[in-house]
Amino acid sequence: MLRPSNASVPCDQSGVARAVAALRAGGLVGLPTETVYGLAADARNNAAVKRVFTAKGRPADHPLIVHIADISDLHEWAKDIPAYAHALAERLWPGPLTLVLPARDDTSRLLTGGQDTIALRLPAHPAAQEVIRQTGALAAPSANRFGRVSPTSAQAVVAELAEVLDDADVVLDGGDCSIGIESTIVDCTSARPRILRPGFYAEELINDVAGIAGVPVSEASDVPRVSGSLPGHYAPSTQVTVVQPDDFAGMDGARLEHALVLTTEDVAVPSPAAHVMKARDALDFARILYAAFRRADELEVQEVLVTTPPAVGIGVAIIDRITRAVHGSAHMNP
């Protein structure tokens, strides 16, 4: 159990030093990244990596992302890296992009969930980079219990995991995540890239950048999507319902009163609504989405009423996460 007095440490030199020491000793660290917080362990320490699975309640066949500090580290984990994957790494790293590549024979199958592919990411958050530079590669899934909403603040990590962490572990407070939803995952194990999980980097950009390395853009976008996770992932306990902006006007006052509304600034929400969060634009929407889900659980409202942004750019990823939350919450609150 992480004691409240020890709950999180600031992201200064001494906080980073504590995180590094914890990781070197086989401990776990709540690590800020630009997407969501990760629960990090030394990727080369099997016992520490196993603890990540236990702490999250994550099945062993669900692979982890290995976070690296330098593009050249790709070769320590992956082999047969296609030219387009190099192009993606050169252009879009550090950043919210995960590449799935053929795993080297000596890459631990504990990390890959038994598969022969490995997911790699070079995060942009300076504190994450500093920690990884000092410790070496870190295996870090999102710092939530399996199937739950990813944390986008240090407080959310503590709320989610304090009971399963111990005092040798550290949550590093790097502030609120600037992107707010998980990285775009691109499968780079075939001749053409495939998006496994949409994110901040949209499919058009991925295809454009991959196209630099000679992959025909039109063909790449014909490839069917395969989801990297389960349909009910990323769900709060509160029921999530998608509504249209026009629905609010005629909505029952009691329903509005007992809901958390998440929408954009141009949408009018009548006054019985007690809890309203409004995003300035699609980027802001992504940034506050998971905080809104957590707030709804804390407030114990009856539902989250959410409008969806247009399905362009990061909007595709936001709609993906909302759809999963609708499935997951329906599952838990039949």
State the residues that interact with ligand TXA by CB under 6 A: 33, 35-36, 38, 62-65, 98, 100, 112, 115, 117-119, 121, 123, 140-142, 182-183, 185, 196, 228-229
Identity of the residue, 80 or 247, whose beta carbon is nearer to ligand TXA in the bound complex: 80
Minimum CB distance to ligand TXA, residue 243 (Å): 27
Which of Mg ion, ligand TXA, none does residue 78 bind (CB under 5 to 8 Å by kind)? none
Residue 281: how many other CB atoms lie within 10 Å: 12
Minimum CB distance to Mg ion, residue 142 (Å): 3
Identity of the residue, 121 or 321, whose beta carbon is nearer to ligand TXA in the bound complex: 121
Identity of the residue, 14 or 54, whose beta carbon is nearer to ligand TXA in the bound complex: 54
How is residue 103 annotated by DSSP? B
Residues of span 105-144 touching Mg ion by CB under 5 A: 142
Minimum CB distance to ligand TXA, residue 247 (Å): 32
- Please return the burial class of 249, using the count of CB atoms within 10 Å of its CB with bins 0-12, 13-18 and 19+: exposed
Which of Mg ion, ligand TXA, none does residue 98 bind (CB under 5 to 8 Å by kind)? ligand TXA
Residue 127 contacts residue 140 (beta carbons within 8 Å): no
Residues of span 139-168 touching Mg ion by CB under 5 A: 142
Residues touching Mg ion, count (CB under 5 A): 1
> Number of C-alpha atoms within 13 angstroms, CB side, residue 176?
10
- x/- letters, 168..197, toward Mg ion (CB under 5 A): ------------------------------
CA distance 182 to 234: 10
Q: Residue with structure tokens 């080369």? A: 44
Which of ligand TXA, Mg ion, none does residue 40 bind (CB under 5 to 8 Å by kind)? none
**DSSP β-ladder status, 170-173 and 9-10:** parallel
Please give the distance of CA 165 from its chain centroid, rounded to a whole number. Answer: 20
Structural Rg of the chain based on CA atoms: 20
H/E stretch holding 98 reads strand 97-102
Residue ranges in contact with Mg ion by CB under 5 A: 142
